[in-house]
């Protein structure tokens, strides 16, 4: 039984070492293994198709047949292509020339937006900034109190003029599904930051589905009202094939500028990272890696590449090939 | 006979193009059925198509639909077992339902919706806020409880022992002669050993009053292949009796439950179709398969 791709490829390559040259059939079977590994890692079907096509083409080219060790060369191609799509290098947050820098968070329900708001605030505070959190999720029960608790833990202030959905009376009716005026709260929050001289504002918004036109319109209205410097799309690393639909819907709806991959402390392979980066072309900037406010880091494309393919240490694999 | 078999194969080679087959494969993969199960399903379908001599892509699709419905709709008990328990020579104790799962799947919301259903059926319900970890989790549950007029047992301080809150809730349910106690637990990733031990403890401690009649694993329909790992680990630690598949109102199909049901024999009992109090429905295999095959 060869479970991981590294095991399977190592096995495939073992047979090749003596011959030293890859036939088209060798490359096809290697590409099949890679396809399977990508699908098992939840990389979206269209992305898998394009990716394996590119790898196959490069593997058949001169570059491989001329290489000293062709098998090794194929692994390197796979890794390079992955890292290239995932962003090669990550970029830091765009800060406004004239503060405050406005950051808006968006994503599906339960993705990790509110938690991320606290993480970002804490990280920015530690870098000497003076962030203000804005509670513009009035929809989900007690989202405002959740953000307030998170703000307190991060030691930053929160702007929460509306309590949001907190009582039996707020039960959203079918004919009036929206609660309060989150667009107004977001706009006032940015104004508040300007008067109180906060140099960063982080706006938490309600979770919403890509196909929910009413809520997506609300998100784009928030965006129009606050003209954010960054719109961060938060996506759960456990998501499967729906990553593409969802990422496209949010790219259309709020035109996000960067991606945050959350719950990377789990054991999901996180193929969504590849899907989202590929179909939207927006960079993955941060990784959320736990429930504590300090579980937050800059995204590392190379680590993600070996995680998705379950290649362990790619360099070791290349040496073994 | 080998000759007969070969003859049959030649005479009834399937007439679908590779493109037709690719399309079917893509539908299954896009629904998160998984690469392994998809290959298995299509291999057996190819055999049937040959043997039956089916030639029309639409008829093949219909066959696949039938197979899928048979697979996910397999004869399983999908009802919730929430009748009060009579302990021998002892008091009548409420049925206990526990929700478990990874972070953000919809556990608290599902408890809120379920409370609504049970109250509408005339049952008396108590909620237990055994998520003492996440910011404002108990407030969120209390809001849901207030909507249907049921009490929420909670701890005043964040970080309290979740097992003792669960115990208190069940004990309150017993003392108040409630019919059902619904216990919400914190989201936890299945690879966190410490948090999974904590969940085991919640089950054990609760069982001192009444063993849970139902342990619902709440799976998010957007979840990919990791859902199977989630189900395996939660089943082992907490003895899962059913699945609630949430967020089916989105574009995700929730195909991972096909593997989960098949491997663990745990039935999908409920589906979540929105954020509102009435957005909960029993699982329907035909609807589910239609969602996958379009
Ligand atoms: N393990 C882990 N849990 C996380 C991470 N980020 C968020 N969570 C948890 O995921 C759950 C949902 O997080 P929230 O921050 O409330 O998500 P949200 O996107 O604001 O959710 P809605 O407002 O309901 O749409 C909570 O239990 C968080 O503690 C992470 O990186 N790792
Ligand atoms: N669209 C949709 N949203 C849902 C559904 N069920 C829950 N949600 C939303 O998903 C988000 C997370 O729901 P919760 O009930 O807080 O999830 P949870 O599992 O209790 O989260 P943690 O306690 O943080 O692990 C909220 O924004 C809910 O409104 C559903 O069936 N459809
Ligand atoms: Mg939130
Ligand atoms: Mg919860």
3-state secondary structure chain B: CHHHHHHHHHHCCCCCCHHHHHHHHHHHHHCCCCHHHHHHHHHHHHHHHHHHCCCCHHHHHHHHHHHHHHHHCCCCCCCCCCCCEECCCCCEECEEEEEECCCCCCHHHHHHHHHHHHHHCCCCEEEEEECCCCCCHHHHHHHHHHHHCCEEECCCCCCCCHHHHHHHHHHHHHHCCCCEEEEEECCCCCCCHHHHHHHHHHHHHHHCCCCCCEEEEEEECCECCHHHHHHHHHHHHHCCCEEEEECCCCCCCCCHHHHHHHHHCCCEEEEECCCCCCCEEECCHHHHHHHHHC
- How large is the average pLDDT for residues A157-162? 96
Name the residue at shortest CA distance from atom 31 of ligand 1.
A263
Structure tokens at B208: 């001192």
With a cut of 60, say whether residue B12 has pLDDT above it.
no
Evaluated on CA atoms B48, B50, B53, B58, the torsion sign reads positive
Structure tokens at A192: 């508040």
Q: Any CB–CB contact under 8 A between A10 and chain B?
A: no
With a cut of 80, say whether residue A258 has pLDDT above it.
yes
A1-10, A276-285, B96-105, B275-284 — which is least confidently predicted?
A1-10
Strand partners, B253: none
Ligand 3 centre and the CA of A139: distance in Å?
A: 9
**What residues of chain A lie within 8 A of the CB of B277, using their CB?**
171
Question: Ligand 2 in contact with B107 (CB < 6 A)?
Answer: yes
Are the beta carbons of B54 and B270 closer than 8 angstroms? no
Question: Ligand 2 in contact with A220 (CB < 6 A)?
Answer: no
pLDDT range class, residue A119, cuts 50, 70, 90: very high
With a cut of 60, say whether residue A89 has pLDDT above it.
yes
- CA-based diameter of chain A, in Å? 75
Q: Flag if B189 and A41 touch (Cβ within 8 Å).
A: no
Residue B57 burial (C-beta neighbours within 10 Å; 0-12, 13-18, 19+): middle
With a cut of 80, say whether residue A72 has pLDDT above it.
no
Confidence at residue A61, expressed as pLDDT on a 0 to 100 scale: 82
Strand partners, B185: B130
Name the residue at shortest CA distance from atom 27 of ligand 2.
A109
- How large is the average pLDDT for residues A158-175? 78
**ipTM confidence:** 0.94
Residue B276 burial (C-beta neighbours within 10 Å; 0-12, 13-18, 19+): middle
Cβ-count burial A205-238 (b if 16+ within 10 Å, e if not): bbbbbbebeebbebbbebbebbebbbbbbbbbbb
Q: Any CB–CB contact under 8 A between B10 and chain A?
A: no
Of B181, B187, B220, the closest CA to residue B92 belongs to B181
With a cut of 90, say whether residue A295 has pLDDT above it.
yes
Distance in angstroms (rounded) separating the CA atoms of residues A286 and A296: 7
Global pTM reads 0.94
Question: Ligand 2 in contact with B108 (CB < 6 A)?
Answer: yes
Distance in angstroms (rounded) separating the CA atoms of residues A55 and A31: 8
pLDDT range class, residue A79, cuts 50, 70, 90: confident
Q: Flag if B250 and A108 touch (Cβ within 8 Å).
A: yes
**CA separation, residue B44 to residues B39, B48, B63, B289 (Å):** 9, 6, 11, 18
Say which of A108, A139, A177 has its CB closest to residue B222. A108
Distance from CA of A242 to the nearest CA of B (A): 5
**CA separation, residue B193 to residues A177, A260, A316, B231, B265 (Å):** 40, 25, 29, 15, 24
With a cut of 80, say whether residue B11 has pLDDT above it.
no
A116-130, A189-203, B17-31 — which is least confidently predicted?
B17-31
Residue B22 backbone zone (phi > 0: left; psi -120 to 50: alpha; other: beta): alpha
Q: Any CB–CB contact under 8 A between A291 and chain B?
A: yes
Ligand 3 centre and the CA of A108: distance in Å?
A: 9
**What residues of chain B lie within 8 A of the CB of A146, using their CB?**
134-136, 139-140
Confidence at residue A319, expressed as pLDDT on a 0 to 100 scale: 62
Ligand 3 centre and the CA of B83: distance in Å?
A: 35
Distance in angstroms (rounded) separating the CA atoms of residues B45 and B42: 5
Ligand 1 centre and the CA of A262: distance in Å?
A: 8
H or E element that contains A115: helix A113-126
H or E element that contains A157: none
Please identify which residue in the block is written with the tokens 């590409």: A31
Q: To the nearest whole percent, how much of chain A has pLDDT over 90?
A: 67
- How large is the average pLDDT for residues A21-29? 81
Confidence at residue A38, expressed as pLDDT on a 0 to 100 scale: 93
The closest-lying atom of ligand 2 relative to the alpha carbon of residue B102 is: 25
Confidence at residue A19, expressed as pLDDT on a 0 to 100 scale: 58
Residue B277 burial (C-beta neighbours within 10 Å; 0-12, 13-18, 19+): middle
Q: To the nearest whole percent, how much of chain B has pLDDT over 70?
A: 95
Q: To the nearest whole percent, how much of chain A has pLDDT over 70?
A: 84
With a cut of 70, say whether residue B3 has pLDDT above it.
no
Say which of B29, B135, B223 has its CB closest to residue A45. B29
With a cut of 70, say whether residue B35 has pLDDT above it.
yes
Distance in angstroms (rounded) separating the CA atoms of residues B99 and B105: 11
Are the beta carbons of A201 and A189 closer than 8 angstroms? yes
Q: Flag if B189 and A149 touch (Cβ within 8 Å).
A: no
- Tell me the pLDDT tens digit for each residue of B190-211: 999 999 999 999 999 999 988 9
With a cut of 50, say whether residue A1 has pLDDT above it.
no
Distance in angstroms (rounded) separating the CA atoms of residues A211 and A214: 9
Say which of B135, B144, B224 has its CB closest to residue A240. B224
- Tell me the pLDDT tens digit for each residue of A182-214: 999 999 999 999 999 999 999 999 999 999 999
Q: Flag if A142 and B102 touch (Cβ within 8 Å).
A: no
**What residues of chain B lie within 8 A of the CB of A175, using their CB?**
none
Are the beta carbons of B271 and B248 closer than 8 angstroms? yes
Please identify which residue in the block is written with the tokens 């402390």: A265
* Residues 41-100 of chain B whose Cβ lies under 8 A from any Cβ of chain A: none
Ligand 4 centre and the CA of A160: distance in Å?
A: 22
With a cut of 70, say whether residue B80 has pLDDT above it.
yes
Distance from CA of A178 to the nearest CA of B (A): 11
With a cut of 70, say whether residue B239 has pLDDT above it.
yes
Say which of A41, A109, A150 has its CB closest to residue B135. A150
Q: Flag if B250 and A209 touch (Cβ within 8 Å).
A: yes
- Tell me the pLDDT tens digit for each residue of B132-185: 999 999 999 999 999 999 999 999 887 899 999 999 999 999 999 999 999 999
Are the beta carbons of A166 and A136 closer than 8 angstroms? no
Number of Cβ atoms within 10 Å of the Cβ of B15: 14
Name the residue at shortest CA distance from atom 13 of ligand 2.
B106
Q: Flag if B103 and A263 touch (Cβ within 8 Å).
A: yes
Ligand 1 centre and the CA of A229: distance in Å?
A: 23
Say which of A142, A239, A241 has its CB closest to residue B143. A142
């Amino acid at each position: 039984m060869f479970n991981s791709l590294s095991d399977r490829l190592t096995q495939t390559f073992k047979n090749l070492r003596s011959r030293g040259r890859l036939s088209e059939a060798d490359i096809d079977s290697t590409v099949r293994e890679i396809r399977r590994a990508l699908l098992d890692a939840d990389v979206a079907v269209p992305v898998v198709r394009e990716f394996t096509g590119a790898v196959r083409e490069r593997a058949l080219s001169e570059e491989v047949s001329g290489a000293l060790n062709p098998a090794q060369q194929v692994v390197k191609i796979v890794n390079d292509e992955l890292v290239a799509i995932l962003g090669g290098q990550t970029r830091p947050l765009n800060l406004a020339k004239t503060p405050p820098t406005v950051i808006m968070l968006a994503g599906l329900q339960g993705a990790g937006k509110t938690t991320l708001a606290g993480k970002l605030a804490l990280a920015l505070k530690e870098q000497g900034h003076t962030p203000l959190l804005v509670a513009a999720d009035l929809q989900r029960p007690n989202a405002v109190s959740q953000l307030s608790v998170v703000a307190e833990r991060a030691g930053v202030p929160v702007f929460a003029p509306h309590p949001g959905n907190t009582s039996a009376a707020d039960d959203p009716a079918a004919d009036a599904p929206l609660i309060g005026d989150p667009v107004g709260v977001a706009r006032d929050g940015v104004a508040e930051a300007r008067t109180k001289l906060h140099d960063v504002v982080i706006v938490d918004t309600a979770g919403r589905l890509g196909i929910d036109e009413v809520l997506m319109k609300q998100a784009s209205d928030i965006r129009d009202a606050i003209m954010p410097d960054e719109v961060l799309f938060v996506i759960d690393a456990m998501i499967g094939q729906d990553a593409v639909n969802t990422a496209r819907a949010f790219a259309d709806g709020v035109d996000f500028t960067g991606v945050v991959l959350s719950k990377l402390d789990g054991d999901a392979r996180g193929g969504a990272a590849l899907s989202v980066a590929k179909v939207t072309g927006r960079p993955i900037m941060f990784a959320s890696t736990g429930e504590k406010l300090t579980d937050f880091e800059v995204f590392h494309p190379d680590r993600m590449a070996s995680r998705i393919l379950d290649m362990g240490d790619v360099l070791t694999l290349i040496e073994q090939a | 006979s080998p000759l007969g078999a070969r003859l049959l194969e030649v005479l009834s080679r399937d007439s679908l193009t590779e493109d037709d087959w690719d399309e079917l494969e893509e539908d299954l993969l896009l629904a998160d059925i998984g690469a392994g199960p998809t290959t298995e399903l299509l291999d057996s379908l190819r055999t049937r198509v040959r043997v039956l001599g089916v030639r029309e892509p639409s008829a093949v699709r219909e066959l696949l639909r039938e197979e899928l419905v048979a697979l996910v709709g397999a004869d399983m008990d999908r009802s919730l077992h929430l009748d009060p328990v009579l302990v021998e020579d002892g008091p009548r104790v409420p049925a206990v339902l526990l929700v478990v799962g990874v972070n953000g799947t919809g556990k608290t919301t599902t408890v809120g919706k379920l409370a609504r259903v049970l109250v509408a059926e005339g049952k008396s319900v108590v909620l237990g806020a055994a998520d003492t970890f996440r910011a404002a989790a108990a407030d969120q549950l209390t809001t849901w409880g207030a909507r249907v007029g049921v009490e929420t047992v909670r701890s005043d301080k964040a970080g309290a022992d979740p097992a003792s809150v669960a115990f208190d809730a069940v004990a309150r349910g017993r003392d108040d002669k409630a019919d059902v106690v619904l216990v919400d637990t914190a989201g936890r990733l299945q690879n966190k050993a410490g948090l999974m031990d904590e969940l085991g403890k919640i089950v054990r401690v609760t069982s001192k009053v009444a063993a849970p009649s139902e342990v619902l694993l709440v799976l998010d329909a957007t979840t990919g292949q990791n859902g199977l790992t989630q189900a395996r680990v939660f089943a082992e630690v907490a003895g899962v009796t059913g699945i609630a598949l949430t967020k089916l109102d989105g574009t995700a199909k929730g195909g991972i439950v096909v593997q989960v049901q098949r491997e663990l024999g745990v039935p999908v009992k409920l589906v979540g179709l929105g954020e509102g109090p009435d957005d909960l429905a029993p699982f329907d295999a035909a609807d589910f398969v239609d969602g996958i095959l379009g």
